[in-house]
Amino acid sequence: MSQHQGGDIDYMADDYEMADDDDVDFRGRGMGDSESDDDEYDHLECKPTKKGGMYYEFRRNTRSVKSTILHFQLRNLVWATSKHDVYLMSHFSIIHWSSLTCNKTEVLNVSGHVAPCEKHPGSLLEGFTQTQVSTLAVRDKLLVAGGFQGELICKNLDRPGVSFCSRTTYDDNAITNAVEVYDSPSGAIHFMASNNDCGVRNFDMERFQLSTHFFFPWPVNHSSLSPNGKLLVIVGDNPDGILVDSQTGKVLFCSFLFFLWKNFKIKFHEYEQTSMSWDGEGAPPTLAQCGSQKWLRVVPLCGHLDFSFASAWHPDGHTFATGNQDKTCRIWDIRNLSKSVAVLKGNLGAIRSIRYTSDGQFMAMAEPADFVHVYDVKNGYEKEQEIDFFGEISGVSFSPDTESLFIGVWDRTYGSLLQYGRCRNYSYLDSLI
């Protein structure tokens, strides 16, 4: 996230506090998304797609659930854990909504003082006060909320109270841009936090400890771990994203890593014990010195023209997508990263959020407002369903079983939670009629 956006953050916060004032004119389109409101990137050659697909049909528009956002660039505040259950931010509350019972429940209120009720090494026992939540992730009964001052709040949904609190950094530029909960190869639950202080931190929630901490030369806006847990996509305040190979084994020190060290003084810190380590200071080791030690191999992803705020892996582990402020989503194949295999274009603005269904059949990409695009991945992104409405998009999420698609809409008048259901062709039932 750009470091000069402080005024925009304050502006959004002011809107947030006035959200219940009906006399205030709606200013949703003046939120600083200017990098995507002009024709600067319209010359990009994008993949032509056919509109008119129907993959998810409208089911419900819930006006009683108001999905809200705090920062105009961060739109990962809606998470579905089943086809009926979804978690989202609503002002200073994290809400659980059940579309089955039509009931909403407050899971966590961060307007006051929040402190952990469990004791773990490294946990900030004094907690936080009036946390401004910038991003959210929910999976496997674990909820993680990231804040504007580097706060991380972890709650186990099957236990009362907050389990763990941490402040990633005390830097002025400390906003938590994204969090992702995942299962490690060992089966332990981890979560990864991407921060504006240029760091990506991996926390082991079995031990409630920081596992790894990587530094990069620019603020990290989003990161995604591959399905096998070996590759990490990093995107941020640089047009080129990078692919970090963090698997254990013989990974040679590559020339591009030397380029980053020489030109940007990039530092990679590993907390795992190895017989040889290098933190970016002094001369890098030679190829002969690397031997069979564990090293990070960095591969550049070139093609975008602006900063990126979204990324997601296809379940096959071979392809992934990145979303950028140049109004495009690029699809990449790890077997050939010389260029993206497809460039998908939005209508009006930056691509703020990307999600794949768990079966890999569809991909959803969300613009800042009004449009969510659902692509038929199995058929090469040739056709799309365009879902259009009025309002800022706080997040999109497929349910794990792919049956539901939830879209958070932030608007003074029309704010709501949209639910779509997957279209199924049960033609075999026709024989019964």
Give the whole-angstrom CA distance, residue 135 versus residue 75. Answer: 7
CB 387 within 8 A of CB 420: yes
133: β partners: 147
Would the pLDDT of 16 be above 50? Answer: no
Task: Give me the pLDDT at residue 288, please.
Answer: 43
Give the whole-angstrom CA distance, residue 216 versus residue 235. Answer: 10
Give the whole-angstrom CA distance, residue 55 versus residue 385. Answer: 7
pLDDT single digits (tens) 142-179: 999 999 999 999 999 999 999 999 998 888 888 999 99
Q: Residue-wise over 141-150: b if at least 16 C-beta within 10 A, else e?
A: ebbbbbbbbb
pLDDT single digits (tens) 173-225: 889 999 999 988 788 899 999 999 998 999 998 888 888 888 888 999 999 99
Q: What are phi and psi of 92, to 5 degrees?
A: -100, 15
CB 419 within 8 A of CB 98: no
Q: Which of 266, 245, 267 is closest to 337 using CA atoms?
A: 245
CB 299 within 8 A of CB 246: no
| Structural tokens at position 180 | 């992702």
pLDDT single digits (tens) 53-102: 999 999 999 999 988 888 889 999 999 999 999 999 998 999 999 999 99
Q: Which of 199, 189, 205, 87 is closest to 137 using CA atoms?
A: 87
pLDDT band at 261 (very low <50, low <70, confident <90, very high): very low
> Per-domain residue ranges for the chain?
52-76+349-426+429-433
Q: Which of 15-29, 106-120, 348-362, 371-385 has the lowest mean pLDDT?
A: 15-29
Would the pLDDT of 270 be above 50? Answer: no
**pTM of the complete model:** 0.81
pLDDT band at 42 (very low <50, low <70, confident <90, very high): low
CB 11 within 8 A of CB 32: yes
pLDDT single digits (tens) 272-325: 323 333 343 444 444 344 443 344 445 678 899 999 999 999 999 999 999 999
